Amino acid sequence: MSAYPPARYNPLAAWEAIPANETPEQRKTREVAEETARKRSARIDEDIKAERAALKKRAVKLLVLGQSESGKSTTIKNFQLAYTYQSWTDDRLSWRAVIFLNLVRSVNTVLHIIGCEMNTQLPSPSSSTPSSPLSSAASSSSIGSDGLPPPKKEPLGTRHKLLRMRLSPLTHVQRDLEQQIGAGASEVAPPASVLNQIDVSEDDAVPFLAAERQGRRLTTEFAVRATWMDTLTQLRTRDSLGSELKVSERKLKEVMGILAGCCADIKALWTDRTVRAVLVKRGVRLEDSPGFFLDDLERILSPTYEPTDKDVLRARLRTVGVQEYSFVVEQGQNDVLRAADRKGQEVGRTWRMFDVGGARTMREKWYPYFDDLNAIIFLAPISCFDETLEEDPRVNRIKDSLMLWKGICGSTLLNNVQFVLFLNKCDLLSRKLKHTQAKVVDYFPDFREAQDAKRVAEFFRHEFKHVLKKSPLPTRTFYAHMTSVTDHKSTAQTLRVVRDGVAREALERSYLL
């Protein structure tokens, strides 16, 4: 006889069947118990659903790392532009003063350099390793930024002295703009031991002290704290009755009027071939530096000017201290990004991004932010293969990035953190290889390929991958992207891939996938 019940036997039906000979009292008790069980099950289902929704919306924490001027702030701007567009639009006008400041600082840089040339205060740069985009063409550039050979050397003359005189009010304009942007601002200068090598007392408002010692650019740079935008946002409040705000708004309009009146002279200065030849001689390439707007002069100084998205991405404003940015993801700003949102799965999620600074003095502050981290976006600018650190002219900038990358890959605190590498400034790399005589092999002897931007980028990609594979966790997935973060269209696609990957790993860590 078979030990199993008949084939038609249904144990669930038998369990749910009404017991035979059930009394009315027993039936009432059973129905109450069943209803209580159903309600308890429904509550559990709702709690699970709510917990899953909360986990999906839990903040994702990212650290954006890289040396100074690697593109960290621009990367964060790209994220805002792509996924918090309404907030980005609300803040965009606040960048107008910063763009004006970038423009004025560039003009004052040129004025200072031609003044030094006239007075022979500064020697020509040496042929040693340059330290920045401003000096990267010191001994190798043979083609101007307009694609034409520089003119034969001509002395600076009377017209240049007149231009300096007519544009001298811009020194005060620069100071007014710096005051407008926020209290607590400061000039970030090179170490005193370096400044002692040269007399810098002529004008402490000059942004770039284009003196060279062993190929090093000496700079002072205006810097603000993270709250600078709060001050400028108030200037846009039309219904504000505060006298202080009215004064600030009036000063900004006065600055705009002065700049508009100087437009013709600024254009004459920047397009003067003798001036451009002096810049080439002194190894200064303003067009490759952050915050360059001299080629957009007439558009920016128009009375109706409002910053475009691209203008804000290009604007340069150095911040000091740790910067925290918290975003609530909105719907993507275009059809491609909206389609990529996977029916709104990421909409409403909070992302917290930290920029802890890239200068050597700031790097010790990175480690406290490694706790409870989802991902690190590491930016390595590969256009600076022939440049050295401003803090230490003995150290090549890409080699410094490789050392930083090695330290991060070797940290056991980050074993569960996703790494995303941005090999940044590919556009500047291509321009440098095309317009200068700088050779990658002179700085990286292992590079044996043709001097081509794609091959150079792939070479550096391999170098960073090699460091990862030699780390204590060589099985970690290597995510690397070639980027030009001032190009929002391409960067938006890269950020979408990064965002989806980081979000997926965050969900996997929460056991939701």
Mean pLDDT for back-to-back runs of 10 residues, the chain (513 residues): 56 65 84 87 81 64 88 87 86 89 94 87 44 46 46 74 93 89 52 33 34 40 60 51 59 88 94 91 85 93 91 86 79 49 60 77 68 87 91 91 92 87 92 89 93 94 95 90 83 79 66 44
Residue with token string 């890959």? 409
The answer for residues whose C-beta is within 8 angstroms of residue 164's C-beta and 6 or more apart is 111, 114, 115
| DSSP at 296 | G
Residue list, annotated binding site for GTP? 288-289, 313-319, 424-427
What sign has the CA pseudo-torsion 191, 196, 197, 203?
Answer: positive
| 251-271: burial string, b at 16+ Cβ within 10 Å, e else | bbeebbeebeebeebbebbbe
| DSSP at 221 | E
Amino acid 456: pLDDT: 95
- List strands edge to edge, sheet with 221-224: 186-188, 221-224, 318-319
Residue list, annotated binding site? 288-289, 313-319, 424-427
Amino acid 129: pLDDT: 42
351 has which bridge partners? 60, 327
Helix (H, G, I), strand (E, B) or coil at 351: strand
Short-list 301, 411, 415, CA closest to 367: 411
Burial class for 192, CB neighbours closer than 10 Å (0-12, 13-18, 19+): exposed
The answer to whether the predicted template modeling score (pTM) of the entire model surpasses 0.85 is: no
Yes or no: say if 433 and 382 are a contact pair by the CB < 8 Å rule. no
Alpha carbon distance 145, 21 (integer Å): 99
Burial class for 3, CB neighbours closer than 10 Å (0-12, 13-18, 19+): exposed
Helix (H, G, I), strand (E, B) or coil at 210: strand
Alpha carbon distance 378, 384 (integer Å): 16
Yes or no: say if 265 and 279 are a contact pair by the CB < 8 Å rule. no
Helix (H, G, I), strand (E, B) or coil at 476: coil
Amino acid 227: pLDDT: 56
Yes or no: say if 449 and 459 are a contact pair by the CB < 8 Å rule. yes
Q: Write out 34-102 in H/E/C secondary structure.
A: HHHHHHHHHHHHHHHHHHHHHHHHCCEEEEEECCCCCCHHHHHHHHHHHHCHHHHHHHHHHHHHHHHHH
Among left, alpha and beta (phi > 0; psi -120 to 50; other), residue 279 is alpha
Amino acid 155: pLDDT: 79
AA letter at 347: V
CA-CA distances (angstroms) from residue 289 to 22, 106, 134, 204, 505?
88, 10, 6, 20, 36
Helix (H, G, I), strand (E, B) or coil at 285: coil
Yes or no: say if 56 and 345 are a contact pair by the CB < 8 Å rule. yes
Alpha carbon distance 106, 273 (integer Å): 17
Burial class for 60, CB neighbours closer than 10 Å (0-12, 13-18, 19+): buried
Yes or no: say if 419 and 72 are a contact pair by the CB < 8 Å rule. no
Amino acid 424: pLDDT: 92
Yes or no: say if 157 and 117 are a contact pair by the CB < 8 Å rule. no
Residue list, annotated binding site for Mg(2+)? 319
Domains for the chain: give ranges and CATH numbers.
59-93+319-502 (3.40.50.300), 94-300 (no CATH)
Alpha carbon distance 389, 400 (integer Å): 8
